[in-house]
């Protein structure tokens, strides 16, 4: 590549990065502004202050925010774990076995995935209240599974299809039961797929707002996105913008950490060397 090309690529890259990251930079900046400083007509705060973070972590809003953070973490992790486990078995069956109704399962999964959440939430609200799931963890985990399972099954079956059949047959000839072949050969090979799926599933659950706000009423189960919507200013003349920004920054951190943690595992090409090619 010539120097000229390199420069052009560099500039283009920088433009895209600024375009993508500018809103995030703005939120970070706002989170450090005092309420009186919000309308200072400049990007940077005139004075750096931690008071928004204090407000949500130790101050008045902490009663709303901290339990919500705990709920969000627990609910999303449980939903992700369950959906990964179920999707792994389902995807294996879809990729490997020939059974009647295979197409049906896949297309149903797709239909569920594209079904608008808002149209389900009202009947669900009534049903959950009647059977006692309203405002509980399972009350959110179950709808989250309906969001995460379809995409997990689709992603993972794509990964399973990539694994050569011979791997498993070789294991069987070597003396493995079907379960041993699955556990010792297929699952390790599918690990990148499982991690990718887990991250996608976690994001979907973590970002949900509609179920969170509709199916909860107290801090018993309310997740962070819903809690953010309930922030109020110190008085009715004050906007809670600063506090919301601070909370948004905190909520973003686990997602970033998760990606950094697992990005090494999300490398395709682990199957290199399994077969000649």
Where on the chain is the footprint of another protein (CB under 8 A)? 164, 166-167, 169-177, 180, 185, 188-189, 270-277
Shorter beta-carbon distance to another protein: residue 40 or 177: 177
User: CA distances (Å), 55 to each of 21, 43, 73, 242, in order?
Assistant: 26, 22, 21, 10
Q: How far apart are CA 6 and CA 20, in angstroms?
A: 21
At closest approach, how far in Å is the CB of 156 from another protein? 17
Per the structure block, which two tokens stand in for 180?
């041993």
User: CA distances (Å), 20 to each of 24, 26, 31, 39, 62, in order?
Assistant: 8, 11, 18, 23, 30
At closest approach, how far in Å is the CB of 14 from another protein? 36
At closest approach, how far in Å is the CB of 185 from another protein? 6
Shorter beta-carbon distance to another protein: residue 4 or 276: 276
Shorter beta-carbon distance to another protein: residue 101 or 123: 101
Shorter beta-carbon distance to another protein: residue 113 or 176: 176
274: DSSP letter? T
Shorter beta-carbon distance to another protein: residue 256 or 275: 275
The 3-state secondary structure of 137-165 reads: HHHHHHHHHHHHHHHHHHHHHHHHHHCCH
Q: How far apart are CA 233 and CA 170, in angstroms?
A: 65
At closest approach, how far in Å is the CB of 267 from another protein? 12
Q: How far apart are CA 163 and CA 183, in angstroms?
A: 14
**Residue of 223, 202, 189, 65 lying closest to 147 (CA atoms):** 202
At closest approach, how far in Å is the CB of 48 from another protein? 49
Shorter beta-carbon distance to another protein: residue 98 or 116: 98
Shorter beta-carbon distance to another protein: residue 29 or 172: 172
At closest approach, how far in Å is the CB of 262 from another protein? 17
Q: 267: burial class by Cβ within 10 Å (0-12, 13-18, 19+)?
A: exposed
Q: Across the strands, what pairs with 272? A: 275
At closest approach, how far in Å is the CB of 277 from another protein? 7
**Residue of 21, 56, 57, 51 lying closest to 38 (CA atoms):** 51
């Amino acid at each position: 590549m010539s120097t000229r090309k390199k420069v052009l690529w560099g500039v283009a890259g920088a433009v895209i990065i600024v375009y993508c990251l500018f809103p995030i930079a703005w939120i970070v900046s706002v989170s450090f502004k005092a309420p009186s400083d919000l309308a200072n007509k400049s990007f940077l705060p005139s004075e750096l202050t931690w008071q928004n973070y204090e407000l949500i972590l130790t101050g008045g809003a902490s009663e709303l925010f901290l339990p919500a953070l705990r709920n969000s973490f627990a609910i999303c992790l449980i939903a992700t774990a369950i959906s990964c486990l179920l999707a792994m078995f389902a995807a294996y069956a879809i990729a490997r076995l020939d059974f009647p109704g295979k197409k049906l399962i896949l297309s149903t999964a797709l239909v569920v995935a594209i079904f608008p959440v808002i149209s389900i939430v009202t009947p669900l609200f009534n049903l959950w209240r009647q059977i006692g799931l309203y405002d509980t963890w399972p009350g959110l985990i179950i709808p989250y599974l309906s969001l995460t399972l379809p995409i997990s099954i689709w992603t993972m079956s794509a990964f399973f299809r990539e694994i050569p059949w011979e791997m498993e047959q070789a294991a069987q000839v070597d003396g493995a039961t079907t379960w041993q072949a699955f556990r010792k050969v297929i699952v390790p090979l599918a690990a990148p797929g499982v991690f990718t799926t887990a991250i996608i599933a976690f994001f979907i659950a973590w970002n949900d707002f509609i179920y969170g706000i509709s199916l909860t009423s107290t801090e018993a189960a309310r997740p962070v996105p819903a809690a953010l919507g309930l922030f109020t200013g110190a008085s009715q003349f004050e906007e809670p913008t600063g506090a919301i920004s601070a909370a948004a920054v905190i909520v973003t951190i686990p997602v970033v950490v998760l990606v950094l943690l697992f990005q090494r595992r999300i490398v395709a090409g682990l199957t290199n060397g399994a077969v000649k090619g």
